[in-house]
Amino acid sequence: MTIAVDIRHRLGDFTLDAGFASEGRLTALFGPSGSGKSSLINLIAGLIRPSQGRIEIDGRVLADTGKGVFVPRHKRRIGMVFQDARLFPHMSVKNNLHFGRWFTPAGERYVELDAVVELLGIGALLERRPGKLSGGEKQRVAIGRALLASPRLLLMDEPLASLDEARKAEILPYIERLRDEMRIPIVYVSHSIGEVARLASDIVVLHNGRVAACGPTVEIMQRLDLLPADERGEGGAVLETTVAHHDEAFGMTVLGSAAGEIRVPRIDVAVGALVRVRIRARDVMIATERPKGLSALNILQGKVAAIDKGAGATAEVRIDCNGAAVVARITEQSRQGLKLEPGLPVFAVVKTVSFDQANTAAGLRGEADV
Partner 1 sequence: MDWLLDLTPDEWNAVRLSIKVATVAMLASVPPAIFIAYALARWRFWGKTVVNGIVHLPLVLPPVVTGYLLLLAFGRRGPAGAFLAEHFGIVFSFRWTGAALACGIMGFPLMVRAIRLSIESVDRKLEAAAGTLGANPLWVFTIVTVPLILPGIIAGAILSFAKAMGEFGATITFVSNIPGETQTLPSAIYTFTQVPGGDEGALRLTLISIAISMLALVASEVLARKVGKRMDIE
Q: Which is nearer to partner 1, 113 or 338 (CB)?
A: 113
Q: Can you say whether the dihedral through the CA atoms of 31, 34, 40, 46 is positive or negative?
A: positive
Least distance (Å) between residue 359 CB and partner 1: 33
- Would you say 8 or 86 has its CB closer to partner 1? 86
One-letter amino acid of 353 = V
76 binds partner 1 (CB under 8 A): yes
The single residue among 24, 100, 159, 363 that binds partner 1, judged by CB under 8 A, is 100
Based on the shown chain and the rule CB under 8 A, indicate whether residue 46 belongs to the binding site for partner 1: yes
Residue 88 lies near partner 1 (rule: CB under 8 A):
yes
The values of phi and psi at residue 72, to 5°, are -65, 155
Whole-angstrom Cα distance, residue 253 to residue 244? 8
Contacts of 240 (CB under 8 A, 6+ apart): 218, 257, 274, 275, 276, 363, 364, 368, 370
Classify each residue of 310-329 as buried b or exposed e, where b means 16 or more C-beta atoms within 10 Å of its C-beta.
eeeebbbbbbbbeebbbbbb
Taking CB under 8 A as the binding criterion, the range among 70-78, 169-177, 204-212, 344-352 that sits at the site for partner 1 is 70-78
Q: Among positive and negative, which fits the CA dihedral 335, 338, 343, 348?
A: negative
Amino acid at 22: S
| Residue of the chain from 3, 7, 29, 80 that contacts partner 1 (CB under 8 A) | 80
The CA distance from 328 to 259, in Å, is 14
Find the shortest distance in angstroms from Cβ 187 to partner 1. 13
Query: From CA 85, how far away is CA 119, in angstroms rounded?
Result: 18
Scan residues 116-155 and list those touching partner 1 (CB under 8 A).
129-132, 145-146, 149
Tell me: does residue 90 bind partner 1 (CB under 8 A). yes
> Is 198 strand, coil or helix?
helix
Stretch that binds partner 1, among 50-58, 67-75, 273-281, 317-325 (CB under 8 A): 67-75
Least Cβ distance, residue 211 to partner 1 (angstroms) = 24
Q: Does residue 293 belong to the site contacting partner 1 (CB under 8 A)?
A: no
CA dist., res. 184 & res. 154, Å (int): 7
Interaction between residue 68 and partner 1 (CB under 8 A): no
Q: Pick the binder of partner 1 from 103, 250, 290, 306 (CB under 8 A).
A: 103
Q: Is 5 helix (H, G, I), strand (E, B) or coil?
A: strand
Residues binding partner 1: number (CB under 8 A): 30
Report the relative pairing of strands 153-157 and 78-81 from DSSP bridges.
parallel
Q: Closest separation between CB of residue 9 and partner 1, Å?
A: 17
Q: Does 70 bind partner 1 (CB under 8 A)?
A: no
Q: Which is nearer to partner 1, 153 or 281 (CB)?
A: 153
Please pick, from the candidates 84, 180, 225, 261, the single residue that binds partner 1 as defined by CB under 8 A: 84
Residues in contact with partner 1 by CB under 8 A are 45-47, 72-80, 82, 84, 86, 88-90, 99-100, 102-104, 129-132, 145-146, 149
